[in-house]
Structure 1
Amino acid sequence: MKRNLAYALFITLIAVASCSFTNQTAENFENDDKDKLLLDLITYVLEKGHYEPKDIDDDFSVSVFEDFIEILDPTKRYFLEEDIKEFEQYKFQIDDQIKNTEIAFFNVVHERLMERMQQAKEIYKEVLEVPFDYGRKEKIDIDYEKMPFADSRKDLKERWRKQLKYATLGTYDSKIKRIETPEETDEEPMTKERAEIDSRESTRKTLDEFFDFVDDTERKDWFVQYINTIVDEFDPHTYYFAPDDKEKFDMSMSGKFEGIGARLQKKPEGAKIVEIISGGPVWRNQQLEVGDEIIKVGQDGEEPINIVGMRLDDAIKLIKGPQGTIVDLTVRKVDGSLDVISITRDVVELEESFAKSTKIQKDDIRYGLIHLPKFYVDFDDYSERNAATDVAKEVERLKTEGVEGLVLDLRDNGGGSLKTVVEMAGLFIKDGPVVQVQSSGKKKEVYEDKDERIQWDGPLVILVNELSASASEILAAAMQDYKRAVVIGSEQTFGKGTVQNVIPLDNIVRSNDHGKLGAIKLTTQKFYRINGGSTQLEGVKSDVVVPDRYSYIDLGERDQSNPLKWDKITPADYKPWDGYIDYEQTLASSNKRMAGNAQIALIEENAKWLKAEQEETKISLNYSDYKVEEQKDKEKLDYFKTLSEYDNKLSFSSLKYEEALFTKDSVLREKRNRWHQNLAKDVYVEEAVNVLQDLKINNIKNGKLASVKG
């Protein structure tokens, strides 16, 4: 269905755009370059195809102006205040330039950026000629957003000095530690003087490589950044792919891609990890987590390159690489600590992105848990493996082994196929609507489960967190609206309630003499719950709210730029599930348990500390102060390590069919053992089992126990 909708939209855009651009290509673009053609094409597609097109007016112009400059110079170490004042003549003209396919603003800013970057090369070399005084009492404020641009070269040089001292401090500390514990490779004893010189030289080499990399960036690459600044004003999921990027996107959608297996977001202080792909190298490594920021990238022991201030696309090029090669990532962890983590690049293991299940034993009762990393499907052949049929198989296997309650774990599940969501919901309800989809200016569509069979009618709990998004939110919302399942997890899920389709631009223009044009990923529809509310922005609010370490950190759609708003439409016609007794009492009992749980209290304390650490933007550049803060952080981290020592007293075991596979696959056995060990420390799974137990007991007390067989 989703594929058909995409095709219908594509045909509509082609039909309209072909009329508009077939002749215009020859007449209007005869003397214009590819940049202007792209600008005209993309704004046309945005206006005609976007779910909620924006007015390209003065307000839009101001947003593009501010965002483009921030993207080019996030740490404000290139442009001067006089540059910004000069650029401001365009502040209210960009909308007119877009409509007239003019790129004067881009040209002026790009030309000045190239000039200032050349000057920055001179500045950093001058700064690094002078030793850093680590005994000096001074601080750097890394809240660059609130910082004004430098008003002179002298002011700019001082800004570079502090930034480079800050960037060098960690290297200096690592070398100072070698005074007490020398390395075998040291040719001469480490001294404070040598440590200072070597760390400064290390930073210089990093910047040399960074600017060599920037020098290789072509004008067209900067223009793509400008195009995406315009596109990003519509919503955070609409994106222009240059021709090379489109090919990489197609490869990633097929599931065949090499790298580290993480999705990154540009931040002033580096590249923030916003998603970890199940089965990928980062997922297997277990040392990185969502919220960590990558600040340097090195290639297998070589001197790392600082990516602070680098375009995200360029940083990703450094991080990606051939299968089997090693990338060294210098990371600022969520807790503020610095660490160097080596990742072996690899192809994502598809097997680890599929559904898997385990038995849970508590007292003399057996429960089941199904973990679903994403809603996968093969659009070319739906009869092949997909999330809905796989979950159905796991349900049958668990029923055969006598489980009396089921947990569906959707934590960190970023979504996927809409079709599989509808089919999966049908496993737990008799029939009825699952989700509503609204296209711009069109009548809503209601996607329903029409199969009256119920595969599982026993107690059901769904686990979610802030990273449960899109399709995960649809399923959780539907089960919540039906009162079919108890949703346990974060205060709310990610909040992505929109649908995107990819429109190839080459198919819109005939007689194109400019080569490949790339494609645009366009937001075309919006999801709504069956109760009428959108999952956009607000996500799904858990029935039982359980804090985690991300509770006070900005994550999700709310932390994206220009998200579409929350709204509601008319509800669908549905009847709540009548299989539970004392449903509300079950929720009350669970919330009471969570309020008195010591592990939950410690998790919340950790979450508040992490938030406080992230909000501290003034950092000392005095080495003694640095060491004091490092020791404080170490003590706090040691204190919170007890979180990983928790034992929920539950017993986990693989299903019989999987145990038979272990005799031939020792790697699979190790993977499952590791998974079970992590589940045994999981307080959320513990509470999910408690809720299943309450649902079962309440039904027994009232003489109504849902069938779990057949």
Structure 2
Amino acid sequence: MASGFDVGRIIGFPWSVRFLPLFALSLGLTSVLSSSAAAEEEVFEATGLMRAETRWLVNSLERLHFSEMALEDIDMSDVIDSYMEDLDYNHLYFTAADEKAFRSRFAPPMARYLRSGNLHPAFQIFSVFQENALERVAWVREYLENDFKFDEELEYQADRQEVTWAENEAELDELWKRRIQFELLNEVIAKMSPPDPEQDLEIGLEGMTEPDGEIAAIEEEIEPEEPLSFDDALVEAKEVVSKRYDRLETEMERFESAEVQEIFLTTLANSYDPHSIFLSSDSLEDLSIAIENSLVGIGAVLADEDGYCTVRELIPGGPARLSEQIDVNDQILAVAQGKKGEYVDVVDMKLRKIVKMIRGEKESIVRLKIRPAEAADPSARKEVVLVRDEVQLTANLARARLYQIPMDDRTVSIGVIDLPSFYGSDLPDHPNSSDDVAELISKMKTHGVEGMILDLRNNGGGLLSEAVELAGLFIPTGPVVQVKTVQGDLLHHDDRDPSVAWNGPLMVLVSKFTASASEIVAGALQNYGRAIVVGDESTHGKGTVQGIFRMTPPLFYSLSASRSDVGATKVTVQKYYLPNGESTQLEGVKSDVVIPSMNSLISIGEADLDHSMEWDTITPVSFGIEKDDAMDLVLVDDSLIESLREQSQSRMDSLEEFSYLDETIEFFKKRKDEKLISLNLVERQKQQDSDRTVRTAFRERRDELSASKYSYEPILLDTEEIAEEGVDEDENDSDSSFDIVLREGIRIMADWLSEIPEPQSSQAKNDLAKVDA
């Protein structure tokens, strides 16, 4: 998940004498701790810069972090456990004896080590990990020489995040036998399986305005792989797995001390909260590239999760999102270049290396082998072909649709505004989200819109100033968000413009992907009684903001003031609260009407992260809508919410689409809860066939239900070209043809409108092109 409206710039650490005594003390400890480690051979060595960066991180966390915790307040045994898990996320290399030894040796003196910039504990723990990994690679090579039939009744627990460390090497050996069989069997089944007719190979050309003939023709040239026999599949599977561990060996041998430092210091920072991290100079450069969007890629935010490159976010306007072939939480298993390049397995590969493979020249081709997030079987694969391109700015703009919904003896007009982020710029002729939404509202009003839905389900945040401006389109004046700083100061950002762009019925659609600035808007409008919030049970729950502080060389006498290869710390420095004093942190904004969603099965919220900062409250700020203003606004009260909730629940209990949704959720929940995976080929093939049958049945039911989809009229911004808009509206989100949550949101709005007398007169509605939705 994106960090929302985090401080988006590099900030130099403030020069102040109050930092000097701690640095002086740290320098004094160096010789003491160095002598204690001198007798033990150090495989890695910290440079002077790395020691300075370590002290810098400690001081940044202690002086700037919102929690105001000292290093001694942190349980260093937990830091060691987290570091071991960051290195060995599947609990395959370390043992319980290793954990006990590391805790005993390094937890008590850890704070003193870190204050002096000494990374001896991190290097020693990594050295054991490296040695164990290299020995295990040799073991894997020997084990792969065996013949495999996959005919025993064995099982493997693929999700090993919550398991304990193995007690001894014998237990690890047995675990590894099943691990390798699991990896081999996944590849064998994938290579033996015929192409899924429901997953045709498609190529994302939407990112290109004028694809040339060669690129446009590749769809015909790339053929799905033909299924192999068991023997041939096993030969190729062994080759894939063997290369995977060859690469692991190479990467282990090439690991540098700076890489170990970054892993360990980020683990330490994460013990304060999950958004505080250490950034090496290389990571800082990557972040700068991401902010400036100066490299061409596929428009996706990727993360390393248990050794798998996982899609965490799809950037609006990027090739990945426009292709409609990639979803959040999909796992990228292999990457190939061009239309005929060989696939390179990327399981357990360093994320930075994978990102470099996916980036490339504009209009070049990259092929991805993906394990879909919705796949119940770990052997599931699909190929996605993308054309690299820059993010299309127009695809990131607010857009609107006007629905005509039959209701009793009349038809009501309901507007839906989809806002993917809170964007803006101080430069002339650059779009701002608040101005664009105001323009769309104005245009829909000329067409007689009666109810408005603001869709923030895929809005991960953006500029705080724009969030405040946008909330102000629906309220006269007043505070939108309160800010508490690390110094304890309380500030609030107010809407100061008394004008209101829309005074009628208002709904905000939210999901677990609604984060940061979008949570502020949803929560503020809910506080003011201006909007009913509908969707997932709660939003993401990110109510903190981070600052990036680059190390200032003058504070370290051994460093040159001109060097640029220094790292930085990203530290949580502020917390956000709604006007009523409640934080959006951890708990998010709770929906007034909850609609079932597959998101309930995904661990994507702030509460799912370790060491998340707590939810709390502060004193409410004075806010509300004056009586004179209330006369001109449609407001929400408890009786209205209860009425709309009951009517919605009645539909959920009776409509076929909710029966379909409930059964889909239940199916995937059941498969997700099955922790043990069979290592028997016949059993897995039966399961695969069964799952494919179920998925096909679900797709057929969805297609049948889609026949009753609502029609809408697209409302365009002046800055958008009609031709481009036509493509995007017709081919945007693959679920837009049958978006159950949006459909129910529209029905809830219609229920609300039914309780409001029909306007005496309605403005003429222009004839617009009708599009099915």
Same fold (TM > 0.5): yes
Give the distance between the partners of 1:601 and 1:423, measured in 2 at CA.
40
What residue in structure 1 maps to residue 448 of structure 2?
A: 402
Give the distance between the partners of 1:163 and 1:322, measured in 2 at CA.
38
The one of 684, 694, 702 aligned to 2:751: 694
Give the distance between the partners of 1:298 and 1:4, measured in 2 at CA.
34
On the 8 A contact 1:462/1:476 being kept in 2, the answer is: yes
Shift of 1:612: 2.4
Do structure 1's residue 70 and structure 2's residue 70 form an aligned pair?
no
Secondary structure of the residue aligned to 2:599 is coil
Shift of 1:518: 2.0
What residue in structure 1 maps to residue 601 of structure 2?
A: 552
The one of 247, 251, 265 aligned to 2:289: 251
What residue in structure 2 maps to residue 643 of structure 1?
A: 702
Q: CA 1:284 to 1:189, structure 2 compared with 1: closer, same or farther past 3 Å?
A: closer
The one of 412, 424, 427 aligned to 1:365: 412
What residue in structure 2 maps to residue 117 of structure 1?
A: 133
The one of 8, 21, 34 aligned to 2:49: 34
| Letter matched to residue 366 of structure 1 | S
What residue in structure 2 maps to residue 568 of structure 1?
A: 617
Give the distance between the partners of 2:736 and 2:325, measured in 1 at CA.
17
Shift of 1:285: 2.0
Shift of 1:217: 3.4
Secondary structure of the residue aligned to 2:677 is strand
Written as runs of structure 1 = structure 2, the 5 A alignment for 1:148-187 is 148-150=164-166, 153-177=169-193
What residue in structure 1 maps to residue 68 of structure 2?
A: 53
What residue in structure 2 maps to residue 594 of structure 1?
A: 652
| Letter matched to residue 615 of structure 1 | D
Q: CA 1:257 to 1:530, structure 2 compared with 1: closer, same or farther past 3 Å?
A: farther
Do structure 1's residue 673 and structure 2's residue 733 form an aligned pair?
no
Give the distance between the partners of 1:624 and 1:383, measured in 2 at CA.
62
| Letter matched to residue 568 of structure 1 | T
The one of 102, 120, 128 aligned to 1:87: 102
TM-score by length of 2: 0.82
Written as runs of structure 1 = structure 2, the 5 A alignment for 1:88-107 is 88=103, 89-107=105-123
| Letter matched to residue 580 of structure 1 | V
Q: CA 1:185 to 1:132, structure 2 compared with 1: closer, same or farther past 3 Å?
A: farther
Secondary structure of the residue aligned to 2:71 is coil
Do structure 1's residue 533 and structure 2's residue 582 form an aligned pair?
yes
Shift of 1:684: 2.2
Give the distance between the partners of 2:429 and 2:365, measured in 1 at CA.
36
Shift of 1:638: 1.8
What residue in structure 1 maps to residue 155 of structure 2?
A: 139
| Letter matched to residue 519 of structure 2 | E
Do structure 1's residue 412 and structure 2's residue 447 form an aligned pair?
no
Give the distance between the partners of 1:39 and 1:79, measured in 2 at CA.
25
| Letter matched to residue 643 of structure 1 | R
Secondary structure of the residue aligned to 1:607 is helix
Q: Deviations over 1:557-608 (max 9, x none)?
A: 0111211000011112122556337633344433433343331232233223
On the 8 A contact 1:259/1:346 being kept in 2, the answer is: yes
Do structure 1's residue 331 and structure 2's residue 371 form an aligned pair?
yes
Question: Greater CA deviation, 522-531 or 149-158?
Answer: 149-158
Q: How large is the RMSD of aligned CA atoms in angstroms?
A: 3.7
Give the distance between the partners of 1:186 and 1:389, measured in 2 at CA.
46
Give the distance between the partners of 2:224 and 2:5, measured in 1 at CA.
64
Q: Deviations over 1:485-526 (max 9, x none)?
A: 111100000000111111111366355147621222221111
Give the distance between the partners of 1:184 and 1:535, measured in 2 at CA.
48
Secondary structure of the residue aligned to 1:654 is strand
The one of 623, 630, 638 aligned to 2:688: 630
The one of 407, 416, 421 aligned to 1:374: 421
On the 8 A contact 2:416/2:455 being kept in 1, the answer is: yes
What residue in structure 2 maps to residue 193 of structure 1?
A: 231
Secondary structure of the residue aligned to 1:700 is coil
What residue in structure 2 maps to residue 652 of structure 1?
A: 712
On the 8 A contact 2:97/2:167 being kept in 1, the answer is: yes
Secondary structure of the residue aligned to 2:368 is strand
Give the distance between the partners of 2:251 and 2:346, measured in 1 at CA.
10
Secondary structure of the residue aligned to 2:738 is coil
What residue in structure 2 maps to residue 618 of structure 1?
A: 676
Shift of 1:535: 0.5
Give the distance between the partners of 1:186 and 1:285, measured in 2 at CA.
18
| Letter matched to residue 580 of structure 2 | N
Question: Greater CA deviation, 577-586 or 603-612?
Answer: 577-586
The one of 342, 352, 360 aligned to 2:384: 342
Shift of 1:188: 13
Give the distance between the partners of 1:677 and 1:298, measured in 2 at CA.
25
Written as runs of structure 1 = structure 2, the 5 A alignment for 1:381-392 is 381=427, 384-392=430-438
Do structure 1's residue 499 and structure 2's residue 545 form an aligned pair?
yes
Q: CA 1:616 to 1:332, structure 2 compared with 1: closer, same or farther past 3 Å?
A: farther
On the 8 A contact 2:415/2:449 being kept in 1, the answer is: yes
On the 8 A contact 2:194/2:226 being kept in 1, the answer is: no
Do structure 1's residue 282 and structure 2's residue 320 form an aligned pair?
yes
On the 8 A contact 2:414/2:746 being kept in 1, the answer is: yes
| Letter matched to residue 130 of structure 1 | N
Q: Deviations over 1:107-142 (max 9, x none)?
A: 211222222232122112111111212122211122
On the 8 A contact 2:440/2:716 being kept in 1, the answer is: no
| Letter matched to residue 417 of structure 2 | I
Give 5+ residue unaligned stretches, structure 2: 35-46, 198-220, 766-773
On the 8 A contact 2:96/2:167 being kept in 1, the answer is: yes
On the 8 A contact 1:206/1:305 being kept in 2, the answer is: no
Q: CA 1:429 to 1:217, structure 2 compared with 1: closer, same or farther past 3 Å?
A: same
Identity level (%) = 27
Question: Greater CA deviation, 299-308 or 509-518?
Answer: 299-308
Give the distance between the partners of 1:469 and 1:132, measured in 2 at CA.
47
What residue in structure 2 maps to residue 542 of structure 1?
A: 591
Give the distance between the partners of 2:605 and 2:376, measured in 1 at CA.
20
Shift of 1:463: 0.9
Give 5+ residue unaligned stretches, structure 1: none
Give the distance between the partners of 1:234 and 1:694, measured in 2 at CA.
46
Give the distance between the partners of 1:502 and 1:654, measured in 2 at CA.
40
What residue in structure 1 maps to residue 309 of structure 2?
A: 271
Give the distance between the partners of 2:655 and 2:248, measured in 1 at CA.
49
On the 8 A contact 2:240/2:345 being kept in 1, the answer is: no
- The size of the alignment, in residue pairs, is 701
Question: Greater CA deviation, 474-483 or 634-643?
Answer: 634-643
Shift of 1:95: 2.7
Shift of 1:621: 0.8
Do structure 1's residue 218 and structure 2's residue 267 form an aligned pair?
no
Q: Deviations over 1:188-213 (max 9, x none)?
A: 99643333223212321233234334
On the 8 A contact 2:448/2:763 being kept in 1, the answer is: no
Secondary structure of the residue aligned to 2:448 is coil
Secondary structure of the residue aligned to 2:153 is coil
Question: Greater CA deviation, 48-57 or 484-493?
Answer: 48-57
Give the distance between the partners of 1:93 and 1:394, measured in 2 at CA.
61
Q: CA 1:382 to 1:56, structure 2 compared with 1: closer, same or farther past 3 Å?
A: farther
| Letter matched to residue 341 of structure 1 | E
On the 8 A contact 1:21/1:510 being kept in 2, the answer is: no
| Letter matched to residue 538 of structure 1 | E
